[in-house]
């Protein structure tokens, strides 16, 4: 189940890069091949555009605080942000996702936690999902939101 290619669509990518337990990466990570996170990534994790076999594994002790845009995603740890997978998402029993999951295929074990929406998209739609907001856009929106005041009547 976890990391196996039960659909018979080719060989899964080997892990080329490891963010070890106790390591904290601040900023966006762009990669090709395989990335295994046992530490913390504070930023978006994005597979290079041409790598349709890219694989992200968030280990039990791993944490990603940002959006994930990778074709194949396996989560055993925690993710705070949207997950956008063109191919497959696997959620292990200890997985905790706070954000929406956009998926073509999903496998979810009992005990996995999703605090957000599960949104099925076709492969064609998945490739045209809007890009994540840049920090400038986020700042502009946050600036506009600060101008609103809640009035209790």
The span from the CA of 25 to the CA of 147, in Å, is 33
Distance of CA 99 to the CA centre of its chain: 9
Is 0.85 topped by the overall pTM?
A: no
In this predicted structure, what is the pLDDT of residue 10? Answer: 46
Task: Note down pLDDT in tens along the chain; length 153 residues.
Answer: 444 444 444 455 688 899 999 999 999 999 999 999 999 999 999 999 877 899 999 999 999 999 999 999 999 999 999 999 989 999 999 999 999 999 999 999 999 999 999 999 986 665 555 555 555 554 444 444 343 334 444
State the DSSP H helix or E strand holding residue 140, giving kind and residue range, or none if neither.
Answer: helix 135-146
């Amino acid at each position: 189940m976890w990391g196996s290619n039960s659909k018979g669509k080719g060989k899964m990518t080997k892990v080329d890069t490891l963010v070890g337990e106790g390591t904290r990466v601040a900023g966006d990570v762009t990669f090709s091949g395989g990335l295994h996170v046992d530490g913390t990534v504070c930023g978006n994790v994005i597979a290079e555009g041409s790598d349709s076999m890219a694989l992200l594994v968030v280990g039990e002790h791993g944490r990603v605080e940002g959006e994930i845009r990778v074709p194949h995603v396996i989560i055993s740890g925690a993710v705070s942000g949207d997950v956008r997978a063109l191919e497959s998402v696997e959620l292990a029993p200890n997985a905790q996702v706070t954000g929406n999951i956009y998926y073509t295929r999903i496998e979810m074990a009992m005990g996995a936690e999703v605090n957000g929406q599960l949104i099925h998209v076709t492969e064609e739609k998945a490739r045209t999902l809007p890009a994540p907001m840049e920090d400038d856009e986020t700042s502009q929106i946050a600036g506009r939101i600060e101008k609103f005041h809640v009035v209790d009547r």
